[in-house]
Structure 1
Amino acid sequence: MSQKIFQHAADIAKEISASVQQINADQIEELITRIVQSDAIFLAGGGRSGLMIRAFAMRLMQMGYKVHVVGDTVTPAIGARDLLLIGSGSGETQSLVSMAQKAKGIGSAVAVVTVNPESRIGKLSDAIVRLPGTTKEQNQGSLVTVQPMASLFEQTMLIALDAVILRLMEMKELHSENMFGLHANLE
């Protein structure tokens, strides 16, 4: 039984590796530029994509960026010099589309990490990071996966956004030790 678990884990690792190889570096650099130029970064996503976005928000906060997760009770109003970053495989989740429309109406920049750059959120975005994978509704895309629903997209998003953090750390000449000063201390 445990051998089967290890085989599944190996299959997942191979899929993630193949997926990461397809990420467009120019799209990642554009996202980094948008982050650096923003007064504040607002992050949103639903379901498991939302969990990946929250992980990214935590690391940005630990680097000293002004970060807010949309939907938290203490999230302030977004402004024209801010960035809304959405993680959405389909790019069609209605609540996220509405957020993107509202942000654009205010004059904020919008960025999306998605499987579907031609989606409604993609069309509203100033920066798009297209990741391979599938959405929860289908198992078609640039990679075939043994995993359920949008798992490969969500895993690839976490890895890609962690790579963004590493690049931002290089740019700011930060190390993990520097970031511990902003790590949660009420745990």
Structure 2
Amino acid sequence: MSMQTTQYLSVILNELHQTVGLINDQEVEEFVDGIMQVRKIFVAGAGRSGFMIKSFAMRMMHIGLEAYAVGETITPRLEKEDLLIIASGSGETKSLVSMAKKAKDIEAKLSLVTINPESTIGKLAKPIVKLPGSPKEKEKSQYETIQPMASLFEQTLLLLFDSVILKLMEKKRLNSSTMFTRHANLE
């Protein structure tokens, strides 16, 4: 079946619209509260999930939170009582599992956004936000999507993180104007 590009876009938007009703508000509220209770926030993800969570760290910086992406040269060390947020569809990515275990050894807080809360990282993390989506291996999923690999999960991640920023802005009584004062000015 061949479609126009805008028809594909329409189907993707419909898939994203369906994901909203499958996200648990209580899980997201716990996730937001966890962010509000710490001084330093670290984010990690692999591949496209990594890009999405780095954009989240950028927005957290814009609202005045101390946020870092793991692996950057200017990222400080994770310490007890800091928060590590991992975005992983499978919850089984070896490098992220290793980071999660290290965070627990340090006694840092650990949050996970995933398709698979029962994963290795899921057993270590709290809170967990479960997102609908399809893992890279489609035959293991019951969620229908026309998109390749984990695209639906990654898109939902970006939109969820932008929604969390709005909630954090509300809690901190911020608006876009106050955020703009932290926007990069050496571009």
TM over 0.5: yes
Q: Which moved more, 1:134-143 or 1:45-54?
A: 134-143
Write the distance in 1 (CA, Å) between the matches of 2:51 and 2:29. 23
Q: Deviations over 1:107-162 (max 9, x none)?
A: 00000100000000100102100000011233543520000000000011111111
Match of 1:24 in 2: 24
2:70 pairs with 1:63: no
Q: Deviations over 1:70-126 (max 9, x none)?
A: 000111111111100000000000000000000000000000100000000100102
Shift of 1:31: 0.5
- For 2:177 and 2:122, the matched residues in 1 are separated by 36
Which residue matches 1:106?
106
Higher mean C-alpha deviation, range 148-157 or range 136-145: 136-145
Structure 2, unaligned runs of 5 or more = none
Residue aligning to 1:126: 126
SS of match in other structure, 1:84? strand
**By percentage of residues, which structure has more helix?**
1
5 Å-filtered alignment, 1:1-187, equals: 4-187=4-187
Maintained 8 Å contact 1:42/1:68: yes
Mapped to 2, the partners of 1:63 and 1:139 lie a distance apart of 40
Which aligned runs of 4 or more in structure 1 are off by greater than 2 angstroms? 137-143
Q: How many residues align?
A: 186
Percent identity between the two aligned chains:
52
3-state DSSP class of the match of 2:110? strand
CA distance in 1, matches of 2:162, 2:65: 15
- Which letter maps to 1:110? L
Structure 1: gaps of 5 or more residues: none
- TM-superposed deviation, 1:21: 1.5
Alignment RMSD = 1.3
CA drift at 1:39: 1.3
